[in-house]
Structure 1
Amino acid sequence: MKDLSPIILFVYNRPNHTSKTLEALKLNTLASQSELFIFSDAAKNSSQIEDVNNVRDIISDVKGFKNVTVYNAEQNKGLATSVINGVTAIINKYEKVIVLEDDLVTSPHFLAYMNSCLESFELNNNIWSISGYSPELEIKNSYKHEVYLAPRGCSWGWATWKDRWATIDWNVEDYQRLKLDIRLRREFNKGGNDLAFMLGDQMAGRIDSWAIRWVYSQFKQSKYTVYPLKSLIMNNGMDFSGTHAPNTDKYTVTLNNYKPNIPTKIDMDSEILKSFRRFYNLNISGFLGVASRRIGIYKTLKKLRKKSKKVI
């Protein structure tokens, strides 16, 4: 295997989640040989200062890696700016990155899988990124590989290369074309019909997402993401603790302790694509979430749901 990819971890104000993420990551077979860069965002307001400081205490003395570098922001940037700036800085130096956020628990073979894929698919210009997470899809036993392709990247434990990252249009200069072209939106939504809604919310300023812009650039270039058949990432942040994450069991998976075999050649499987699209298509709750954002009551409803969960 060539030089291992550096790992980037973005943290904010969740000390318990951050500890779990780091403990699981340290158990990876390649952790001690890997460089880790941690980006800590500053508190958005005074109510966040204590939790941010607690996180910074945790990341100030991380062991188990080849080298650990911590960047503590002096002012709050928000997740989107933190990711775009942080990934750009590291990928420009190392040519490739593996990226995590503070609510992701990894399998012990996550790093081995990601590094193997980065090496195997580096020269395959059809591949946009590598995902460590995979939803639990309906996949036929006749499918012969342990990874599959999908036309949509995933921000829960991912990796990519400098030449792909450098092509992203963060301003989405051609959004009006997508907005006015029904056929184009239909093509974009082959990865799930939530995509066009999310990009619309991004462009209207209702959300601040780096990931939907990343996925839209992937779509425009007709590239694919490599997914493991069984997930090597578990997200434990679907508990109202995050700024963006909802409270839902939809994305719950069993964390798998295995290293997928990486094929030398892989093609899109139409049946898997159908299953993938069905998983991400909005249900009634999802459409209500879209509607609530557009009439400006989403944050209020989220606070009420969070409060009701605490009462229960």
Structure 2
Amino acid sequence: MVDKIVVTTFAPVVIPTLCRYQHFRNCLETLAQCTWAEYTEVYVGLDYPLNESHCEGYDKIKNYLEHFSVKNRFKKLHVIMHKTNQGVAKNLKAICDVVSARYDRWIFSEDDNIFSPNFLVFINKGLEKFKNDPTVISINGYRHFYDIQTCGNSFFRQNVDFSAWGYGIWKDRYEAYKDIDRKYFRRHAYSLKSMAKMWRNGYMRLAGMYSCAGKHWNGSKSDNVLSVYMALEDMDVIMPVVSCVRNCGVDGSGVHFVDVDRNFYELHQNQVIDDKDTFHFIGTGLEYYIENKRAFRTQSYGRISIFQLFRIMVKFYLSELLGGRNG
């Protein structure tokens, strides 16, 4: 059965970058080849070099953007250039502040993604289909390698792993979580109900809640933080059965995955992604929900042992006792 989703608002794409020239170029070039690229505005946030090692890649990206031809590719390309180094979080916030003043939805991508031809179709249709469903936090184009069960459905829902490797989100859901702070997670750290929720999502998610509640959390809204948040709020992400995104950043060039196992690297570099030009939402997304939640919990990249979890919990409560719960 073909879906009858009509998209009238095409979400812009925001991409923060700094100096990974080849990654960024591959990202933008494959995005330009997506169906509906000609209806899409792209906002690039080019951060300023923090040190000398960033300069060569930065200069290449700057030159590439200055000569990038939008004709027959994107509706428009916007470049936000910073005069001082902002860091990842502030660079992203600057772009989101701009698009949130103009749009009620947008698509985020890291600068090291490669896209399927149907990536923009999947995200835009998903943003339209679930815009009035408060139990959905985002439409995620990347699909993990975990062994999920399907029965003819083209997408599924899960609330264990949020992935920032290419996702669409609505302004209201972004506004709901962007200002959450340590106090939010501390409240949940003392709630048996919240502990039970996170326990059902795996040791790593319960540990993540305590890490966010701790004094050393820097306030960033990373994949792990959003994975905890969506579980606490009883929200799901929508993912395609066949990934629409391949991430190439596990080569050690990014902020995360600095030291990676060779097999892990090869797995991501060679990930099969969808080759279709369009996407149709088939099924409810709830097929095998419990079974697939178990697969995400037990196969997660970030899974830890119960001993690691216990250590993190003890560290949190000792810190609370010694520093005072209002510290």
Bin the TM-score by the shorter chain. 0.7 to 0.9
Change (3 A) 1:170 1:283: closer
The aligned counterpart of 2:83 is 74
Tell me which of 252, 255, 260 is aligned to 1:243: 255
The AA in structure 2 aligned to 1:272 is N
Tell me which of 131, 134, 149 is aligned to 1:122: 131
- The answer to whether residue 28 in structure 2 is matched with residue 9 in structure 1 is no
Matches within 5 A, 1:1-312: 1-63=7-69, 64-141=73-150, 143-151=151-159, 152-168=161-177, 169-181=179-191, 184-188=194-198, 190-201=200-211, 203-205=214-216, 209-211=220-222, 212-246=224-258, 247-248=260-261, 249=264, 252=268, 253-258=271-276, 259-263=278-282, 265-267=284-286, 269-280=289-300, 282=302
The aligned counterpart of 1:308 is none
The aligned counterpart of 2:321 is none
Between the aligned partners of 2:114 and 2:27, the Cα distance in structure 1 is: 5
Between the aligned partners of 1:166 and 1:226, the Cα distance in structure 2 is: 19
Between the aligned partners of 2:127 and 2:10, the Cα distance in structure 1 is: 9
User: Does structure 1 retain, via aligned residues, the 8 Å contact 2:156–2:284?
Assistant: no
User: Does structure 1 retain, via aligned residues, the 8 Å contact 2:140–2:163?
Assistant: yes
The AA in structure 2 aligned to 1:205 is H
User: Does structure 1 retain, via aligned residues, the 8 Å contact 2:153–2:284?
Assistant: no
The aligned counterpart of 2:4 is none
Between the aligned partners of 2:256 and 2:247, the Cα distance in structure 1 is: 13
RMSD (CA atoms): 3.0
User: Does structure 2 retain, via aligned residues, the 8 Å contact 1:193–1:281?
Assistant: no
Query: Tell me, which stretches of 5 or more residues in structure 2 are unaligned?
Result: 1-6, 316-327
Change (3 A) 1:148 1:280: same
Report deviation, 1:190: 4.1
Q: Which moved more, 1:103-112 or 1:249-258?
A: 249-258
TM-score (ref. length: structure 2): 0.79
Between the aligned partners of 1:71 and 1:79, the Cα distance in structure 2 is: 14
Report deviation, 1:29: 1.2
The aligned counterpart of 2:325 is none
Change (3 A) 1:6 1:13: same
Between the aligned partners of 1:46 and 1:226, the Cα distance in structure 2 is: 40
The aligned counterpart of 1:305 is none
Report deviation, 1:208: 6.4
The AA in structure 2 aligned to 1:236 is C
Report deviation, 1:191: 4.2
Query: Tell me, which stretches of 5 or more residues in structure 1 are unaligned?
Result: 296-312
Report deviation, 1:54: 1.9
Between the aligned partners of 2:61 and 2:50, the Cα distance in structure 1 is: 14
Between the aligned partners of 1:104 and 1:190, the Cα distance in structure 2 is: 30
Between the aligned partners of 1:44 and 1:283, the Cα distance in structure 2 is: 33
Change (3 A) 1:182 1:221: closer
Change (3 A) 1:24 1:192: farther
Change (3 A) 1:264 1:274: closer
Residues 257-311 of structure 1 deviation map (CA, whole Å, 9 limit, x = unaligned):
13442147443611111111122164579x99xx9xxx9xxxxxxxxxxxxxxxx
Between the aligned partners of 1:284 and 1:174, the Cα distance in structure 2 is: 24
User: Does structure 2 retain, via aligned residues, the 8 Å contact 1:121–1:127?
Assistant: yes
User: Does structure 2 retain, via aligned residues, the 8 Å contact 1:228–1:260?
Assistant: no
The AA in structure 2 aligned to 1:9 is I
Between the aligned partners of 1:162 and 1:113, the Cα distance in structure 2 is: 18
The AA in structure 2 aligned to 1:87 is C
Between the aligned partners of 1:136 and 1:84, the Cα distance in structure 2 is: 30
* Greater C-alpha radius of gyration: 2
Change (3 A) 1:256 1:15: same
User: Does structure 1 retain, via aligned residues, the 8 Å contact 2:46–2:81?
Assistant: yes
The aligned counterpart of 1:304 is none
